[in-house]
A and B are shown apart, each in its own frame.
Chain A
Amino acid sequence: MIRVEGIWKAFGSIQAVKDVSFEVSKGEIVGLLGPNGAGKTTTMRIITGFLYADRGQVFVKDINIEERPEIVKREIGYLPEDNPLYEDITPYELLLISGKIYGMDGRRFKERLKTVVDQTGIKEVLTRPIGDLSKGFRQRVGLARALLHDPSILILDEPTSGLDPHQILEIRNLIKELAREKTVLLSTHIMQEVQAVCSSVIIINKGEIVARGTPDELSIIAKGGNLLHVTFKGDEKEIRQKLQSLTFLEDIKFVGKEDEASTFVLRGPENRDIREEIFNFAKDYNFPILEMRREKATLEEVFLRLTGGEA
């Protein structure tokens, strides 16, 4: 649906985007994750045709945005950062004008208006000036505008920023619901958002893509192996000694002691589940396992690691 091929963009002496390439397939929810100023907004602005890339190309449904902007713009519903809206008119007027710009006739407009008003829940504020609305409602009005022409692609730049936790949940659920029939590219600097919503993540830092994958895949990249937290019943020294006989373990760390229990963090080889082997080990040497859990890196750790701790 979206194909970004080696785009570069500089503002004066600042190189905002450096050789960014990625693809977003139909039905995906892709999160662009990165610290503030990483180049997320610039990338999105180039895809939506608001900015022109210095080099590289963007294709939406195989159409080059710079060659046929009018066609591409119809395929995209865009919610810019900070959700700018015309303050002096009402949501209804905004949607009416938008509808006409997208060339809708009266019947089609009525039909779409009803759909997006229901989806975003803005019925009660339709005739109040946008400038008077709360942040939550403004965000919904922005989404309603982006959805009105029924685009196949949604590009949302920090769709939940500035909202309260309740509103954030509502907007996330709405995005998930919309993603059933649309392709979504959203940007955020909030890790939980990506884990909650996205099927795939692109981590961008200082204008460059530093990682791409599903949230799970990225966890593995960050740790370079898999870790097991195990609490055995028994003496620390004895357990450690016996553990050392397990040659497949790459690292053994003692974490702490509580009464008779000793906790270790064991690092196994990548792509190998060592839980069964540890269970057998405990059984053989009679160190009852009180607790065992596999540790995965959170996206937060991945992010901090890949972006040099700038988050």
Chain B
Amino acid sequence: MKRTILVARKEILSYFISPMGYIYLVIFLSVTSWLFMRGFFLMNQADMRDFFTLLPWIFLLFIPAITMKLFAEERKSGTLEIALTMPVNEWEFVLGKFLASFLFFTFSIFLTLIIPVSISILGNLDWGQVIGSYIGTLFLGAAYISIGMFASSLTKNQVVAFILGAIITFFFFIIGERLVTISLPQGVASVFQFLGLGYHFKSIARGVLDTRDLIYYLSFIAFFIFLTYYVIKEKRP
């Protein structure tokens, strides 16, 4: 546990040492705020539903950008060899990286709180729904991160890691959307809907914390963390 935190600490350090971390935060906040505010003043309602509808789509590009370097960079520079010949086991290494990306992601989401705070000054905001949506966002983000991390473990090329991460995430997001399920037979459609990342997000965002949604996200995340662990253990150098 202690070494997991050390790995995470080193990783967070490198998010903030390079300009990349700051550039990411600035672009992420600008894009989300702009896309949301564009419609917000037209609608003229103290409501953030549009914001949370946008997020899963924005994350498709932004989260693979957080995770792409996690392992690809270590493979490329050879530092994987340093890390894994120190007394850090593969679990601690993978979990530490996941934790670091999740904390960085959480920080970026925390910064968007300026939006609901501003809106609540302008009108009567339903805070229950907003909090539910934020909790859903954290689960959704963690799931995306687990996929992005897995993609990064497969290659030494960050661009490949980014594209692969985006494609796998898109797949798991889109299969549960109406766009796909509408053309499927009833039984299959409900399975696909259950597997889709967005369906559970919407469910939590409604403000209802259903254990099924939590179990779905936790097992989804655990599955991709395990895959990453497996790749790191087996695919060397």
Contacts and interface: CB of A to CB of B under 8 A. Distances in A.
Interface of A: 45, 48-51, 69-70, 73-74, 76, 78, 80-82, 84-89, 93, 97-98, 100-103, 145
A51 B237 contact: yes
Nearest to B78: A84
B18 interface: yes
12 contacts: A50-B81, A50-B84, A51-B236, A51-B237, A73-B86, A78-B82, A80-B85, A84-B79, A85-B82, A88-B18, A98-B86, A101-B6
Nearest to A83: B78
B88 A80 contact: no
B86 A101 contact: yes
Interface stretch (B8-16, B138-146, B200-208): B8-16
Contact of A80 (B3, B17, B82): B82
A45 B14 contact: no
Given A49-B85, A70-B89, A101-B6, A89 B17 contact: yes
Contacts of B88: 101
A82 B82 CA distance: 11
A78 B79 CA distance: 12
B81 A88 contact: no
A85 B236 CA distance: 17
Interface residues of B, number: 21
Q: Which of B6, B10, B79, B87: most chain A Cβ within 10 A?
A: B87
Contacts, number: 64
Contacts of B18: 88
B44 interface: no
Given A70-B89, A101-B88, A45 B6 contact: no
A266 to B, nearest CB: 51
Given A50-B236, A51-B236, A84-B77, A145 B82 contact: yes
A45 B236 CA distance: 10
A103 B92 CA distance: 14
Given A87-B77, A88-B14, A93-B13, A78 B6 contact: no
Q: Which of A51, A81, A85, A88: most chain B Cβ within 10 A?
A: A88
B78 A82 contact: yes
A101 B87 contact: yes
Interface in B36-94: 77-79, 81-82, 84-89
A101 B9 CA distance: 11
A45 B81 contact: yes
B82 A69 contact: no
Contacts of A81: 78
Contact of A70 (B77, B79, B87): B87
B142 to A, nearest CB: 25
| 6 closest cross-chain pairs (CB), A and B | A84-B78, A48-B85, A80-B81, A73-B87, A84-B79, A78-B85
B85 A76 contact: yes
Interface string B116-140: 0000000000000000000000000
Contacts of B86: 73, 98, 101-102
B9 A97 contact: yes
B85 A50 contact: yes
B237 A102 contact: no
Contacts of A102: 86-87
A189 B86 CA distance: 26
Contacts of B79: 84-86
B9 to A, nearest CB: 7
Nearest to A81: B78
Given A45-B81, A49-B85, A101-B87, 6 more contacts: A50-B85, A78-B85, A80-B81, A86-B14, A89-B14, A97-B9
B13 A80 contact: no
Given A88-B18, A89-B14, A93-B13, A101 B3 contact: yes
